[in-house]
Amino acid sequence: MKRIIVFLILGIFLKGCFGGGAAWDSPSKKINYYSKEDYENKQNTYIFQTTRVLSKKKDPGILTYDFNRGMFYGFGNTPFDAIQDAVGQCRDYIISKNLQDKNLNCISTGLQKYHSHLGYSDIYFTKKGLRVQKEKNYQAKLNKREDLRKKKIALKKNRCIEMGFQEGTDKIAECILRLEEIEIAKRNNQIQRQKSSQAALAAILGGAIIQSSQSSNNRSINSNTSGGFNSGSSTSGMYKTCYYKDGLGTKTKTVFASAPCPMTY
């Protein structure tokens, strides 16, 4: 008989250590019992859920979850709100049952502290919480992928600028696209496609250099003719006044009488 009792006590102890127990197979009693409909409603309304127990102890121990004076489930959209909900119900119960003189406390179950190796936690996600967390993880993965894509584009853009392409032009956008094609072809061991994209990039680069040279020449001409062409002159003593006409009117430039007027202002 003594051996049987010892084995029973040992079994309960080991269950507390390694299994954490459960509300339906332990001496604990869930006081704030919810109907199936109410429980499902809370599971789909709030993000976090927790459990607090009524105990004579001030701090949870290894068997607190299995042996206590009652359990209270709390819900909330933050861990703090869920804890406050459970503790509030526990304290209301003490008052409603006139148990203030019993030195009872509303404490944690101790699952997180004593059974963390089994994945137990005092705060855990509800059904809605699991959905929200899944969406957050998915969005975080998308954001990470987008950041990586932007970094890769920035590197290719810098490479194109080093080649001679001008920022903000269609040519640099095409350069980035060709570099992307070359990278994909190289990764997939598509040698012919890689050579084709490299040839297209070389052609774009040649066109960009010619276009840049023409733009530079045009800017030089525009700079030289921005004040208009010489339209005449008048001499007075040692000086000559040269006249230049452009779209904004007439401008003048003074030179020595013996010097010719410049063709442009």
Instruction: List, for residues 11-67, the tens digit of each pLDDT value.
Output: 544 444 433 333 333 445 677 777 889 989 999 999 999 999 999 999 999 988 888
Distances (CA, A) of 53 to 105, 120, 176, 191, 235: 8, 16, 62, 68, 109
What are 236's strand-pairing partners?
239
Question: DSSP labels for 6-32?
Answer: HHHHHHHHHHHHHT---TTSSS--BSS
Residues in the chain: 265
pLDDT higher than threshold 70 for residue 89: yes
Cα 121 off chain centre by: 27
Residue 243 pLDDT class (50, 70, 90 cuts) = confident
Q: Pairing state of beta strands 229-236 and 123-125? A: unpaired
Q: How many CB atoms lie within 10 A of CB 77?
A: 15
What is the average pLDDT across 75-103?
A: 94
Q: Pairing state of beta strands 48-55 and 71-76? A: antiparallel
Of 39-48, 96-105, 119-128, 242-251, give the lowest mean pLDDT range.
242-251
Q: For residue range 176-224, what is the model confidence (pLDDT) as tens digits?
A: 888 888 888 888 888 887 777 777 777 777 655 445 444 444 544 444 4
Q: For residue range 152-162, what is the model confidence (pLDDT) as tens digits?
A: 889 988 888 88
pLDDT higher than threshold 50 for residue 264: yes
